[in-house]
Every structure is written in structure tokens, then in C-alpha cells.
Amino acid sequence: MAKDTKKANRKTLVKALLVIVPVFAVLTIITIFFSRGEKIPDNPEGTTGNLAGNLNNGGIICESDGRVFFSNPYDGGALYSMNSDETDCRKISTAVASSINAAGGYIYYFQAGSSGATGLGGVRVPLSYIRSRSDGSKGYSLTRSVVVRAQLIGNTLYMEGTADKEHDGPYLFSMNTDGSGEEVLALIGINPSCASGNSIYYNNIVSDHNLMRYDTISGDSTLILEGDVWNPVLYEGYIYYMVPSEGYQLRRYLLSGDKVEILTTDRVESFNVHNGYIYYQTMGDNPSIRFMRTDGSSMTVLARGNYNSISMTSEYVYFKDFWNQTSLYHTAYGSDSYEPVNSALQAALEVLMDKK
């Protein structure tokens, strides 16, 4: 009698599993499909995800629709957002974020790790390029490739990956914002940061460092300027760039007039261009962060010392102390003073207090 009961129970269990397992599998597939294939609204024509200069400086700050998304050094690099005037500063993910892009109510960023417990996005996958809603929710890993830089152009992400199991060296690949249509575009390192319309301007790192234009429609590359170009930034018809072979001079090239101007003979370590100004870090015996107008006039020393991560939004210029990466400073355009970003520090302290 006991044996019959055991047999009956076993049969019942098997039947239940035959029903439950397929249903569970289908539900899992549906969940994955809808997470990956979430309908992402089309961005307006001409959309780019971040300023080229911001991306060349690590992509740790990005502005979109009146919000600034940034990697907060006061909280281990976790992803925060705030209004452009720095009000309403809040933590939206524990992801240590770089190569941040934003448009259409979504943010895209490379996650190199986590600053702590899972945040709103619920994403704890290291070394992933993430898409989430602008509040940090609905986080989804678009690719596990290590992304050096990424630029959103329209509804397509263009990403520079590093050598991996499938590639011997750096490469350029793209995918749609919903995660579909991944495609390798070039088996060389192409920095996609400097983008306008259907064009990506980049320096050819394979041989001569000439300035090239990559057409995202045809996939063709054409020569724009012969010379030693590094970290190009397009602003109001000019390409701004450093020249390593000439002591890292800062120059600009007029696309429509085939004209080159030398803006500074100082050795420039990094720079950014926006709102009519160039901010740049010099090297040498007396390093400093400086600014000038985009034509090279009105040069002003902002701070003595070594600084990096020069990033720009509509209202402020941000930078960090090279020797103290847990710092974040800002300055208003054209001002000769600067101060810590107290709203970011205060928001991080509030998060810390909430954990206690």
C-alpha cells in the first residue's frame, strides 16, 4: 500500500514538473525578451548622447533635459543625478559609471563595478554597458564587452571596445538602443566621441594620426586633415585637437575653410570646449587648469596644480584634483574662482546616514 502511494506521488510530481518547467521557461524567455526589447522611443534627428569633450575626459558627467547625470566621487563613483543648477541631487544607482550618455528619458553608461548594495536599477553585473531609465530603474545590460568610449547618435550606440576573446585589439561596434542589431564596424580603435549628424570625426591611431571622418550610413572613412591629431572635439564648425608631435599644442581646424590655428604652445594634458570657452590642463614646471575663449583670447589661470576629468554642462565646468580623486569642483563659465560641488557631497552624506 505504501509503495503504491509513493508511486502515485512520484507520478503526480513528474506530471507537475512537466507542466511547471515549460511554463517557467516560457515566462523566463518572455521576461528576458521584454527587458531587452523594451520599446525605446526614437530620439530626434541630430541627437548625440554627450559632449565629445566630456567623453574624452572619461564621460563621468552628462546633461540631458535639464538633468545632470554624474559619477559621484564622494560615494565611490556611484551614479547620481541632479538638476542643471545642482538642486535635487540624488543617487540613482550604485554602478560606478563612465562613458555616460543620455537622451529621451534614458541613460546609457559603462559599469565598471558597484559602489555598494544594489540600487534602483537592480543591476550588479560588473563590466557591462547599461541602459536604464533616467531615474535608474529598468536597468539592463546591453553588452558585456569592455567599452572604452561610447557615443549615442540618433537611436544607435557606437562603442569602442578593447581586445577580448574574439578580437585581437580595439574595435568599433554598434547596436540599437533596445539592444538589437549589434554589429562590428571596424577592427581598429575608433573613438566615436566626436559626432555630428551621420559623421564621426576621429584620429587614425593605426598609422599617421590623421583626422578622419567615418560615415555611419555608408561605413566609409575619408581623410579630413593630415597631421598629428589627438582627441578631436567639434564645436561651431571647428575641430579642436591636441598635437602630440608638437609638444601637445592645442589647435583648431576650420572644416569649411581648411584653416589651422595654434591656440596655445603650452603642453596640454586634457581639454574641453563648450559655451564659448576652452578649459584645459597644462603640464610642465607650473601646471595649472586654465580657460580662454574659443579663439584663444583672454587666457586666465583658474587653479594651480594638476587637475583632470574636465567636464561641461550648460551652467558649470567640473573637474577633479588629480591627486585626490574623491574631489569634485565646479566653476561658472568665465569665473576665476571655483569651489567643491557641495550638493554632491551632501547627497552622498545623506545616503551614508540612511545606511546607519
Full 3-state SS string of 208-227: CCCEEEEECCCCCEEEEECC
The CATH homologous superfamily to which domain 52-355 belongs is: Tricorn protease N-terminal domain (2.120.10.60)
Give the SS3 label for residue 275.
Answer: coil
Query: How high is the pLDDT of residue 32?
Result: 38
Q: pLDDT, tens digit, for every residue of 155-174?
A: 999 999 987 778 778 999 99
Query: How high is the pLDDT of residue 126?
Result: 66
pTM metric for this prediction: 0.86
Q: Return the domain boundaries, the chain.
A: 1-32, 52-355
- CB-based contacts of 110-117 (< 8 A; 24+ apart in sequence): 110/59, 110/146, 110/147, 110/150, 115/75, 115/76, 115/77, 115/78, 116/76, 116/78
Q: Which residues of the chain register pLDDT less than 70?
A: 1-37, 114-126, 356
Query: How high is the pLDDT of residue 352?
Result: 84
Q: Which helix (H) or strand (E) holds 189?
A: none
Query: How high is the pLDDT of residue 10?
Result: 55
Query: How high is the pLDDT of residue 35?
Result: 47
